[in-house]
Amino acid sequence: MFPSHWILFATIPFTYALIGWVTNWLALKMTFYPIQFIGYPPYLGWQGIIPRKANKIAQNFVEVITEKLLDVKEIAKKIDDATVEKKLSDALEPTIHKATIEFANSIDPELWNKIPKNLQIDIINKIKKESGVIIKKITREIQEDNHSKLDIKNLVFEKLTGENTKTIVDMFQSVGGPEFKFIERSGLYFGFILGFIQLLIWIHFPVAWTLPLQGVLVGYVTNFLAIQMIFRPLEPKKYFGIFEYQGLFLKRKESVSLAFAKIVSEQILSSKNILEELLSGKAAEILLLDIQKEILIQIDRITTFAKPLIAVTGKWSTYETSKLEISKTITDATILQAKGLDDYLQSCMALETIITTKMNGMSLKDFESILRSAFQEDELLLILIGAALGAFVGFLQLVLVSL
């Protein structure tokens, strides 16, 4: 029988190498894609394992980032309120000058022109100074009570879920890129080895119906071995007394730490995202009210000398309305200019450095959990997908052999 089927026998190792590579490649694609469910939910169709578990994985990353890697209060303390005051006060000066003149003229169209030039300058400087005081006070409040004005945990969660689910996929692919590439290639290597073993079995036991079962074995074993070789052993270990090996992911601890820190600092907790959350997020209204309240207090103090005249001339209601308008103008300008602080905040917070240092200092067990624990419960699903795909390819072999 062997002479008439030698071509079939010779191709078995190569066929199994192809099965191993294809099943691993496809299993990885199915792990990450599609981002959104395609088909007829909830059961007829497919969504990548990572995107489907995005909420749960994101919650895991929230805990890792905010509890193990970062101390939000310590980071907030790195922001220098005097620097923030200087940058914002200088940027706000044109707005303050214009708003002050409009405020005075809204009470009396000629009021500002009637005020001596040196007094005009004093008023502008006083308002600018008091605006700086407000900026420093608000900055300190954010530093001391950042939870009420800035929900970091919620920010991390939002940047990894919903319309941002692709970020979590990008994170896995960037941090674990070489490991996922290894899973893909290992299917080729392990498949060839298993195929060679199967060649020996097939010569003595050429039963066609076993081909789908063999496909299951190849798909299962190649994925299982690949995952084990990524995360085990934790520490370098010698095999056969000469060959030293350590889990690929753990061996790349420094580069993984840097890649993870870069994504967190640039895509999740970037200064731009933090400012947007602070100035436009759920707590923004509280911040706006705080700023406006402080501005109103300072306007009342600065205009104390003019209040009797305003009351006598019957312009009190105009004064109150104008006071609200100038406070809103300065508040809006403050928020607008604050968005330009992202470069300063990015440099002073130094999140990338902090996270990289913390991760490099972790035990290997804790370090492994950052990537693996997020989808460990789905590892079996990944392996079973490989087994199912292997069964499908084995069935095609069965059809070809039967022809």
Q: What would the pLDDT profile of 321-338 be if each residue is shown by its tens digit?
A: 766 777 677 667 766 666
As a whole number of angstroms, the distance between CA 142 and CA 379 comes to: 42
Q: Is the dihedral of CA 98, 104, 109, 110 positive or negative?
A: negative
**Which has the higher per-residue pLDDT, 132 or 301?**
132
Lowest mean pLDDT segment, chosen from 84-98, 110-124, 299-313, 367-381: 299-313
As a whole number of angstroms, the distance between CA 403 and CA 384 comes to: 29
C-alpha separations of 296 from 10, 122, 323 in Å: 87, 18, 7
| Residues 270/278, Cβ–Cβ less than 8 Å | no
- What is the residue type of 113? N
With 60 as the cut, is the pLDDT of residue 208 above it? yes
Max Cα separation, the chain? 118
As a whole number of angstroms, the distance between CA 120 and CA 96 comes to: 12
Cα R_g (the chain), whole angstroms: 33
As a whole number of angstroms, the distance between CA 29 and CA 50 comes to: 11
Provide the pLDDT for residue 306.
Answer: 58
Q: How confident is the model at residue 1 (pLDDT cuts 50, 70, 90)?
A: very low
With 50 as the cut, is the pLDDT of residue 379 above it? yes
- Six token digits for residue 104: 């005075």
Question: Both ends of the chain: CA-CA distance in Å?
Answer: 17
Per the prediction, the chain carries an average pLDDT of: 76
- The predicted-structure confidence for 259-289, as pLDDT tens digits, reads as follows 999 998 888 888 888 777 776 665 556 656 6
- What is the residue type of 50? I
pTM for this predicted structure:
0.72
**Which has the higher per-residue pLDDT, 246 or 144?**
246
Residues composing the chain: 403
C-alpha separations of 77 from 140, 142, 158, 176 in Å: 9, 9, 24, 33
Provide the pLDDT for residue 294.
Answer: 65
Q: 């005051």: which residue's tokens?
A: 85
Beta strands in 159-269 (DSSP E): 237-239, 243-245
- Six token digits for residue 157: 């969660």
Spatial CA neighbour of 92 closest among 271, 274, 291: 291
